[in-house]
Chains A and B, each alone.
Chain A
Amino acid sequence: GQNIDQPTEMTATEGAIVQINCTYQTSGFNGLFWYQQHAGEAPTFLSYNVLDGLEEKGRFSSFLSRSKGYSYLLLKELQMKDSASYLCAVRANDYKLSFGAGTTVTVRA
């Protein structure tokens, strides 16, 4: 089975940095994904890690440690539009993504 844990909610100020942690225990590992989901909308792809280390993409970075079953998503220079749910997902085989419950990030002015 799959067990993916992430915090339920986080709040931060516009312009600040927020780090969303994700821990996982899965029967296999073939990549870790982060998706952003605004209320009432589809999840949209943010990042993908399959090897240990940091992947940077503009204001967003994602880190993976396979030995620790741990990832984080770092959001820098927060903007109001970054208020959304952030979903950590693990692919255990060739095709299936299993998602965590999501972390709701609220950005305050």
Chain B
Amino acid sequence: DTGVSQDPRHKITKRGQNVTFRCDPISEHNRLYWYRQTLGQGPEFLTYFQNEAQLEKSRLLSDRFSAERPKGSFSTLEIQRTEQGDSAMYLCASSRGDRISGANVLTFGAGSRLTVL
């Protein structure tokens, strides 16, 4: 397994455009998370999936943001009508989420860096 993969690694877009990020988690992980990180800050939770079900969305996730995980495998995060304040690193993470692995350690991908001009 190659870990958590994210694509694209970098995206530069103009304000008002739509962007979509993809995350491929570790194959045996049933939990998937999206976080956002800005310079000098820790990752901020955006949303969480268990299999294909989206179980929590942060208040940070405005109506312009939508995330899906249609078959419980890969996930997409779409941002519509981007604004300059959306510029950040978008991190995806996955974990096993079973009772055996008590730590439920999140493994992060390298992130997708978004710059909105």
Contact = CB atoms under 8 A, between A and B. Distances in A.
B43 A99 contact: yes
B29 to A, nearest CB: 12
Contacts of A97: 33, 43, 45, 106
Contacts of B42: 4, 87, 89, 99-102
Contacts of B4: 42
Contact of A95 (B44, B48, B109, B111): B48
A11 interface: no
Contact of B109 (A31, A42, A99, A101): A42
B97 A44 contact: no
Interface residues of B, number: 26
Interface string B30-43: 01010000001111
A73 to B, nearest CB: 14
Contacts of A101: 40-42
Contact of A41 (B44, B104, B110): B110
Contacts of A87: 42-43
Contact of A96 (B40, B45, B91, B103): B45
Interface in B68-115: 91, 95, 97, 102-111
Closest 6 CB pairs of A and B: A99-B42, A42-B108, A48-B103, A42-B110, A43-B108, A45-B105
Given A95-B48, A95-B95, 7 more contacts: A33-B106, A48-B105, A87-B42, A96-B33, A97-B33, A97-B43, A99-B44
